[in-house]
Amino acid sequence: MEEPFRVLDHLIELEPEELEWLLLKANMHIYNNNHTNMRKLFEEILKKDLLREEVFHGLVMATLRSNELLKGLLKRVEEANKVCKKQKRDSDVRDFRLLIAQVKVMKGDFSKALKAYQELVKDEPRDFRPYLCQVSSSDVAVMVDTGAIRTVIGVIGNVISFCLFMSPVPTFISIWKSKSVQNFKPDPYIATILNCGMWSIYGMPFVTEDNTLVVTINGFGFFLEIFYALIFFVYSTWSKRRKIILIFLGELVFLAVVIFLIMTFLHSAKQRKVIVGPICIVFNILMYFAPLTVMRQVIRTKSVKYMPFLLSFANFANGVIWTTYALLKWDPFIVIPNGIGTVSGLVQLILYAMYYRTTKWDEEIDSV
């Protein structure tokens, strides 16, 4: 893209008063996702031609993600429209009215936008643009509704995941009271540290969009699981302590290396997602299947004493809700591991139902 920009710069130098060259250059920045330079050029054009509707349209596209900016820009568009009315520039007035309606759609004010489109159709039935925009605004409304539902599901997912992270608390109270890890295993908690770390990275804006709820709960889980691992460390034998230390340090190094590599060698969120996503799938599956060692012990001993029901139930509910969350805005990197997690949690619940009656709660059971 460097050569086209050089040509345009040369044309601008030859014809500095020709705004079409500046407009073309600004639009080219759109394809490079360089909204900062695009906005600067549009503002430069408006200094020379305050009533350039296509420039305002470009500014709207550049500020889509910020309601505050859209609100301020809407006032500017309305002021330009008033000037056009005074100057009786009917064609420009209609273009500005159409743009104002589009901004209202982007802000989620669908009823006012629809009313504006209907007025435009009434004023000039032969103009096909308001008809198309009405259809588009209906589609956007559906998308917004889906987005709102997805947000609600994500909040529920945060609550359930919070319960999942807190469900081992009775286990750690038991460890603290007995001053021993007994037959409890640290595997699920150590695996979850790496899982939460990777998902926190995945949810960051430089990897994926609209996944703030993924970051919040996994950031919380990352530090909580470290705390759990610390309790295991305090009440374990030295050989187990050494294992916990080595694994934990290895996980931190791995996370640091992943962040360094994707930020250094990958220059778009799409590329980073393709790399980080599969890694997250692997570690999410490890988290869900870390209880396999405990499940094997349950089958061998016919006892669920060391497989906490709350943890198993939270695993199942967590898998269901996050699978739903990802289906509402298709994300295979969230669907695949959580779908598998749903199955894993269901198997644990079945085992609990099968062996609950045969469990001797006061009897110590030898580990595998």
3-state secondary structure of 152: helix
Taking alpha carbons only, the member of 162, 148, 296, 147 closest to residue 216 is 162
Type and span of the H or E element at 309: helix 309-328
Residue pLDDT, tens place only, 292-311: 777 787 888 787 776 777 77
Residue pLDDT, tens place only, 92-119: 888 888 888 877 777 666 677 777 777 8
Is the predicted pLDDT of residue 10 greater than 80, yes or no? no
Residue pLDDT, tens place only, 27-63: 777 667 677 777 788 788 878 877 777 777 777 766 6
Which class does domain 2-141 fall in? mainly alpha
> Comparing 321 with 118, which gets the higher pLDDT?
321
What is the DSSP code string of 75-128? HHHHHHHHHHHHTT-HHHHHHHHHHHHHHHHHTT-HHHHHHHHHHHHHH-TT--
Residue pLDDT, tens place only, 207-223: 988 788 899 999 999 99
C-alpha distance from residue 18 to each of 14, 22, 37, 48, 242 (Å): 9, 8, 19, 10, 72
Instruction: State the residue for tokens 């603290």.
Output: 176
Sign of CA dihedral 352, 355, 361, 367: negative
Tell me how far apart the alpha carbons of residues 123 and 108 are, in angstroms, rounded to a whole number.
24
Position 137 confidence tier, pLDDT thresholds 50, 70, 90: low
Is the predicted pLDDT of residue 196 greater than 80, yes or no? yes
Across the chain, mean pLDDT equals 80
The first and second tokens of residue 140, run together, are 């956007």
Entry pTM: 0.56
Tell me how many degrees the CA angle 219-283-207 measures, rounded to the nearest 5: 55
Q: How many other β-carbons are positioned within 10 Å of the β-carbon of residue 279? A: 18
The DSSP symbol for 52 reads: -
Is the predicted pLDDT of residue 121 greater than 60, yes or no? yes
Is the predicted pLDDT of residue 67 greater than 50, yes or no? no
pLDDT at 329: 81
pLDDT at 180: 83
Position 131 confidence tier, pLDDT thresholds 50, 70, 90: low
